[in-house]
């Protein structure tokens, strides 16, 4: 069954139109057209594939998120390829590898229900790995020399944009604050070019919240300070907010928000063993056996193997959940 509420053609066109303003001004017209066409083609293809996917059961929000991720990376890596000075005949094959990688990883991770920040980090890792691998393959086959490979490998438009954004934010913080209190919905200028970095981030959060279920929004809003929460709520009340915040600005803000998120804790077997040992410290074995009596055999093996300094082979994420459950039960 097709995904209801997901007009992939219109969505791809919208992403493309909003990204036009971000194409480097120093590019020639054919280069600018390549970036725009690449973003449109890959986002439309991804959207169509998701729309017709009858097995993954993605909803419209998930399909739009995956399509937008592909559009973002199609933009950044096509810019990188142009700046790399690689022969144009290699651009499309490299972009196809990157788009396929993103699509497959995004589908798998969304189906697994992974947190969004982890999905974005994983995709970024594999995009960079695929890009560098494709360039190294060209060198190995004798199509380019060492110098061109090194030049191409250094290109990273997303990192350049992040650096520019950080510099702009640092400069803004040194200036007197121009916006006091929560912005009003009828003041759209605050969501445009002259906005402070903080206002842009709050507007981006509001844009995301407009697409989320109300109960989830309220849970997250409770974690904001009251003034910022009120600002987000007022922006959410703007029916045309999406048209006032360009996709480029949204992507910039999402990337910075993602960068500032706490890194996920590494779930290595050794750390889980130490965690279980600490959790069960001071508990006699008989008492522990009684406590674990209702649990499945794998849970018992995980715990008692940890007491011996060994890790019972289960998925680290599952093992960490078990360790946390036992910690809460003690």
Structure tokens, 212: 């989320």
DSSP 176: P
CA distance 81 to 97: 13
Residue-level pLDDT at 245: 65
Chain centroid to CA 6: how far? Answer: 20
Residue-level pLDDT at 133: 93
Q: What is the pLDDT of residues 18-63, one digit of tens each?
A: 788 889 889 999 999 999 999 999 999 999 999 988 888 888 888 9
Q: What is the pLDDT of residues 158-197, one digit of tens each?
A: 887 777 766 665 665 555 444 434 443 443 344 544 456 6
Which has more pLDDT, 90 or 306?
90
Q: What predicted TM-score, i.e. pTM, was given to this entire model?
A: 0.53
Structure tokens, 242: 């999406």
Residue-level pLDDT at 136: 94
Residue-level pLDDT at 186: 40
3-state SS class at 113: coil
The pLDDT of 218-230, averaged and rounded, is 70
The pLDDT of 265-272, averaged and rounded, is 71
Candidates 12, 15, 81, 80; CA nearest to 248 is 15
Residue-level pLDDT at 249: 63
Structure tokens, 183: 């912005």
Query: Above 60 in pLDDT, residue 67?
Result: yes
Q: What is the pLDDT of residues 109-162, one digit of tens each?
A: 888 888 888 888 889 899 999 999 999 999 999 999 999 999 999 998 888 777
pLDDT band at 251 (very low <50, low <70, confident <90, very high): low
């Amino acid at each position: 069954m097709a995904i209801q509420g997901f007009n992939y053609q219109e969505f791809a066109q919208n992403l493309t139109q909003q990204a036009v303003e971000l194409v480097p001004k120093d590019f020639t017209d054919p280069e600018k057209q390549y970036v725009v066409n690449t973003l449109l083609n890959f986002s439309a293809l991804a959207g169509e594939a998701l729309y017709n996917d009858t097995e993954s059961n993605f909803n419209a929000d998930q399909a739009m998120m995956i399509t937008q991720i592909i559009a973002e990376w199609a933009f950044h890596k096509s810019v990188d390829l142009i700046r790399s000075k690689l022969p144009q005949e290699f651009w499309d094959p490299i972009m196809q590898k990157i788009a396929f990688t993103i699509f497959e990883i995004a589908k798998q991770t969304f189906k697994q229900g992974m947190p969004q920040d982890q999905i974005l980090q994983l995709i970024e890792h594999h995009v960079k790995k695929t890009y560098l691998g494709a360039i190294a393959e060209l060198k190995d086959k004798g199509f380019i020399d060492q110098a061109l490979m090194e030049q191409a490998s250094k290109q990273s438009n997303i990192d350049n944009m992040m650096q520019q954004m950080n510099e702009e934010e640092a400069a803004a913080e040194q200036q007197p604050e121009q916006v006091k209190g929560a912005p009003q919905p009828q003041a759209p200028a605050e969501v445009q070019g002259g906005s402070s970095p903080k206002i842009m981030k709050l507007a981006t959060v509001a844009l995301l919240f407009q697409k989320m279920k109300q109960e989830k929004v309220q849970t997250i809003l409770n974690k904001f300070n009251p003034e910022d929460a009120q600002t987000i709520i007022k922006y959410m009340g703007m029916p045309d907010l999406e048209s006032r915040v360009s996709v480029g600005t949204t992507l910039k803000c999402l990337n910075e928000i993602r960068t500032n998120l706490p890194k996920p804790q590494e779930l290595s077997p050794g750390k889980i063993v130490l965690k279980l040992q600490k959790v069960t410290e001071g508990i006699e074995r008989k008492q522990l056996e009684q406590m674990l009596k209702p649990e499945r055999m794998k849970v018992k093996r995980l715990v008692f193997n940890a007491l011996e300094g060994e890790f019972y082979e289960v998925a680290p994420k599952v093992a960490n959940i078990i360790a946390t459950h036992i910690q809460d039960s003690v």
